[in-house]
Structure 1
Amino acid sequence: MTRALRALVFLTLLAAVVAGLSCKPEAKQTIRIAIGTQDTTINCATGGLLIRELKLLEKHLPKDGKYKDVTYEIEWKDFTSGPPLTTEMVAEKLDIGAMADFPGVLNGVAFQKQGSRSRFIATLSGSALGSGNGIVVPSDSPAQGLKDLKGKQISVPFGSSAHGMLLRAIRDLGWDPDKDVTLVSQSPEVGGSSLKANKIDAHADFVPFAELFPFRGFARKIYDGSGVKVPTAHGVLVREAYAEKYPEIVVAFLKAALEADRLFAEEPEKYSELIEKVTGVDAEVAYMFHGPLGIQTRDFTIKPEVRRALQVAVDTLTLLKRTDTTLDVGTFVDDRYIRRAAAELGLDYEARLASYAKLPLSGKDALSGEPIAEPTLVAQIWVAGEPKVRAYASPGTALAALGQLTIEGKEIRAVFVHDRASGVKLLADRAWYARRPDGGLSAFLAKEDAERWAAENGAVVVDFATLRAERAKLTAAAP
């Protein structure tokens, strides 16, 4: 074979090989979706836990156009607080995360310091008045209000929304936080242990611990965040680079969150049970927050109050010298993705943006049959073994129903009432009551509020144990 012929054969074989390679199908693209959740921070449930457990993200991910042949690699990672979640987002180990306003601002600052950005793209839940944060004391503490804690030691997770609430409450009393109280930093877990052991005089914390600790019997709530009237919010954050590269995936995640919100609204008891199964946070406490007329309102829109909550966080963290870098809330917040998600699901974003309504409680009193009309007088009883919480028009009819249920041998999971002044949902056995001469009852979180209202309305102040004992005597005396 001549040299020329050999060269021709080689070129022919090479061309065949190249042609064969070009005919091979391209490898499918794999897109990672790494999501950081805070399962025990139950205000984030519709932006994490429920999406994961119900596999809602898979349902909404795009499957056509540039995503037609994509393989999705969904990664979930749970955190007990926002800072470690932020660390992994900044390191690009996570793409999306859920957290409260204060850690959210620190998230934005952390990205800014490394020359990139994160964005606050949707709200999950919150309170225009600040409900959700609270201050608790050991069950046997003589303290009835924050004013009784002067000179005492109060623990709080530093840099949290509860920390901001506590500082404002102290300021409102005219106290110096460096002189009139001793503040120490403790996580919820450590704070709970300290309360049990009476190692601290009080503990301030965020969702759900100011309700969880009293429900479990070793603490008593004496102050609600609504007292400072500073908004709070939990929401969804995303790495800006990820959102710009995969906007359809970000919208899909928010559509999953919107579906989770709808499902919770339709069956709050069912999904409160799911939260307990996954996190250990009692279903009764989850229901307190997210059931009808709950402590906080689930709301996907980014209201002016949410923007204010973020700005308050920026100002407070700067004041506390927790950050030396400011954050422009106007550019940090980006509502384009949630607006698109709402539109694709046929939801009216503007209508919800204008509405401040909580999940309503309507219908008739389970005992008397009278219409349930006044939210601040509503009461509820969760009977063990029943899938739905019973509703009552007033604490009085709920108390009467509780007596009957006790006689019938029913196990009671929880009794809820609402603070007459703020509307905040309370555990009935931890509330104070003002009783009018006609027998009408109004519930209050703080004893001093009950005393003030009683003095203005010719009422007397009683506790739950007294009401139960009186009801038992009446029942025993009945023919």
Structure 2
Amino acid sequence: MNSRILPLLTLALLLPLATACGTSSEANGTAGPETVTVTIGYQSKTINTVTAGTLLRSLGYFEEELTARGKRDGTTYKVEWQDYATGAPITAQMTAGKIDIGSMGDFPLLINAARGKELKQPTRLVAVTGYNLRGGLNTVVTAPGSPLRSLADLRGKKISTSVGSAADGTLVRALQRAGIDAEKDIRKLNQQPSVGASALTAGSVDALSQFVAWPGQLAFEGRATALYDGAELNLPTFHGVTVRQKFAEERAGVLSDFLKAQRRATDHLREQPVAAAESVAKETGLPAEVVYLYNGANGIATFDPELRPELIAALKQDVPVLKAAALVGDVDVDAFVDPAPLKRAVQAPPYPPASAVKPELWLKGQTTTRTFENPKELLKAAKGAQVRAAYVPDALTGTLWFADKAVWVADGAELRAFVTPASAQRYVDGHAGARVIRYEDAVGLAS
């Protein structure tokens, strides 16, 4: 509908229908109970947003909180969940007043802040969903059997990514560190994650840089091999919850209910990680083994709504990258971040600091997993067992990866795993006698 050609009166009548938090209380000209619809934008397959999206929706916690509120204030609350592949369309809908609360990655969050200010629909970052303090949520992958072994090999190649996403930011930064100009030395294709994945499989691109859970899914399915682990940047990356400022002011109680529900969903995920992974897998069609790689007890993502100082500092470091790509101008991160709603909503103590990542084994038919002190013990337990998934942390970055997809190195009696061939080779080059071996050989040596 083109509002420019509507008569002013008609536009005024239709405007409430275009807003996200719709309200009706005088149907057919008679007063009655107020009905409020809250619209949530989420990314079902970006699985480190599940506590504000897929998992939260399946648990029904937000609806429970709103039902309780409705009993107190006589209002009927409804929730509309809208699923998107990336953060960009969520921002477009928020700045059009059609989505109230959304979740997206750190780079899209900055674009969200910039577009909101530009279009006079300001937004605020009010919570985090999942994060990795080293940047391990983003990965560059190549096709199995590709001759590409390191970032240096990407010069002159075609690389698929979603421009403006956290994965794009990882690609640009990683290439810069490798002395490669992301604008001049490669051919970067701006594609949706699913399109890029298909392009990689078809051989029409040489590499794919994407965010959780695409790299893990492609590796698990045997359709990709990791080329670069985003954790090598050692810069935090995260996804968070953004809200329209007007909604936050007018419906502060509803926002509190959402954040309470998000904390409850986070508690559930941390206390029952296998059940949560199975639930998300059922809702999204993703393999549960892939969901657990990121969202498990030792997963790549740590779930905590807290707006940690390290994450906000990293967000400020992201601004110059987006400015250089002409995707944003100046962004006032401090004005965008608003910790007050979370503090009002959640009175529970903060979660304890994340412990060291351990190797983990998930056997078929089991609803719990086992952890091990080192990779060798994991491999011993996996030999001859009915393994559903075995996970092992990278020896340098700590990024969890599938044990049978990792690059293994034998160093004397020690067995070490790496996400990428390049990092394994760097280790071998620095340790006399160390050598790269196959996974099957690692299992044999462990026994």
TM-score (structure 2 length as normaliser): 0.88
Alpha-carbon distance in structure 2 between the residues aligned to 1:35 and 1:264: 20
Aligned counterpart in structure 2 of residue 464 of structure 1, from 419, 438, 446:
438
Q: Which amino acid aligns with 1:189?
A: S
Contact 1:289 1:296 in 2 (8 A): yes
Structure 1 Cα separation of the partners of residues 218 and 152 of structure 2: 21
Corresponding residue for 1:338?
A: 342
Q: State the AA in 2 paired with 1:444.
A: F
Name 1:379's counterpart in structure 2: 359
Please list the CA deviations of residues 380-434 of structure 1 after superposition, one character each: whole Å capped at 9, or x if unmatched. 22212111122222221222222231xxxx2x22211111111110111222222
Question: 1:10: which partner in 2?
Answer: none
- The CA distance in 2 between the partners of 1:33 and 1:459, in whole Å, is 61
Q: Which residue of 2 aligns with 1:401?
A: 381
Structure 1 residues 428 and 55: alpha-carbon distance in aligned structure 2, compared to 1, 3 A threshold: same
The Cα shift of 1:170 comes to: 0.9
Name the SS of the counterpart of 2:404 in structure 1: helix
The question of 1:392 aligning with 2:379 is answered: no
- Superposed CA deviations along residues 346-383 of structure 1, whole A, max 9, x for unmatched, are x124xx5xx6x32x5xxxxxxxxxxxxxx46x322221
264-273 or 303-312: bigger deviation: 303-312
Look up the match of 1:86. 91
Aligned-residue identity in percent: 33
Where does residue 12 of structure 1 map in the other structure? Answer: none
* Separation in 2, partners of 1:270, 1:263: 9
Q: Distance in 1 between matches of 2:392 and 2:165?
A: 28
Match of 2:211 in 1: 206
Residues of 1 paired with 2:383 and 2:175: CA distance? 41
Show the counterpart of 1:159. 164
Cα distance change of structure 1 residues 119 and 67 upon mapping to structure 2, 3 Å threshold: farther
Distance in structure 2 (CA, Å) of the matches to 1:418 and 1:471? 18
Kept in 1: contact 2:159–2:205 (CA 8 A):
yes
Note if contact 2:298-2:360 (Cα within 8 Å) is conserved in structure 1: no
Partner of 1:425: 400
Q: Quick one: structure 1 residues 436 and 310, their matched pair in 2 at CA, closer, same or farther if it must change by over 3 Å?
A: closer
Alignment of 1:430-445 (within 5 A): 430-437=405-412, 439-445=413-419
Contact 2:407 2:439 in 1 (8 A): no
CA contact (8 A) 1:62 1:252 kept: no
- Tell me if the contact between 1:451 and 1:460 (Cα under 8 Å) persists in the aligned partners: no
Letter in 1 for 2:145: D
Q: Give the conservation status (yes or no) of the 8 Å contact 2:408–2:442.
A: no
The equivalent position to 1:95 in structure 2, one of 93, 100, 104, is 100
- TM superposition shift of 1:180: 2.3
How many residue pairs get aligned? The number is: 419
Q: CA deviation at 1:228?
A: 1.7
Once the two structures are TM-superposed, the CA of residue 442 in structure 1 deviates from its matched residue by: 1.4
Instruction: Give the deviation of 1:311 after TM superposition.
Output: 2.1
Q: 3-state SS of the aligned residue for 1:441?
A: strand
- Taking the aligned partners of 1:282 and 1:63, their CA distance within structure 2 comes to 35
Tell me whether 313-322 or 33-42 shows the greater mean CA deviation. 313-322
Give the C-alpha shift of residue 182 in structure 1. Answer: 1.8
- For residues 167-206 of structure 1, what are the structure 2 equivalents within 5 Å? 167-206=172-211
> Cα distance, 1:178 vs. partner?
3.0
Q: Which amino acid letter does the alignment assign opposite residue 382 of structure 1? A: W
Deviations 1:13-45 (A, max 9, x none): xxxxxxxxxxxx951111221111111110110
Q: In the superposition, relative to structure 1, how do residues 404 and 88 fare at CA in structure 2: closer, same or farther (>3 Å)?
A: same
Please report how far the alpha carbon of residue 190 of structure 1 lies from its aligned counterpart in structure 2 after TM superposition.
1.1
* The structure with more radius of gyration: 1
Does structure 1 residue 259 correspond to structure 2 residue 264?
yes
- Tell me the SS of whatever aligns to 1:165: helix
Report if aligned partners of 1:400, 1:471 keep a CA contact under 8 Å in 2. Answer: no
**Aligned-residue offset at 1:64:** 5.9
For 1:326, the equivalent position in structure 2 comes to 330
Structure 1: distance between partners of 2:425 and 2:145: 21
Q: Secondary structure at the match of 1:429?
A: coil
Write out per-residue CA displacement over residues 199-228 of structure 1, whole angstroms, 9 at most, x where no aligned residue: 111110111112111111110011111122
Write the distance in 1 (CA, Å) between the matches of 2:230 and 2:425.
20
Q: Give the RMSD, CA atoms, in angstroms.
A: 2.2
AA partner of residue 440 (structure 1): E
Give the TM-score normalised by structure 1. Answer: 0.83
Residue 302 of structure 1 aligns with which residue? 307
- Indicate how the Cα distance of structure 1 residues 81 and 451 shifts in structure 2: closer, same or farther if over 3 A, else same: closer
Secondary structure in structure 1 of the residue aligned to 2:156? coil
**Partner of 1:446 in structure 2?**
420
- Structure 2 residue runs of 5 or longer lacking an equivalent are 1-29
Structure 1 residue aligned with 2:274: 269
1:238 to 2:243 alignment:
yes
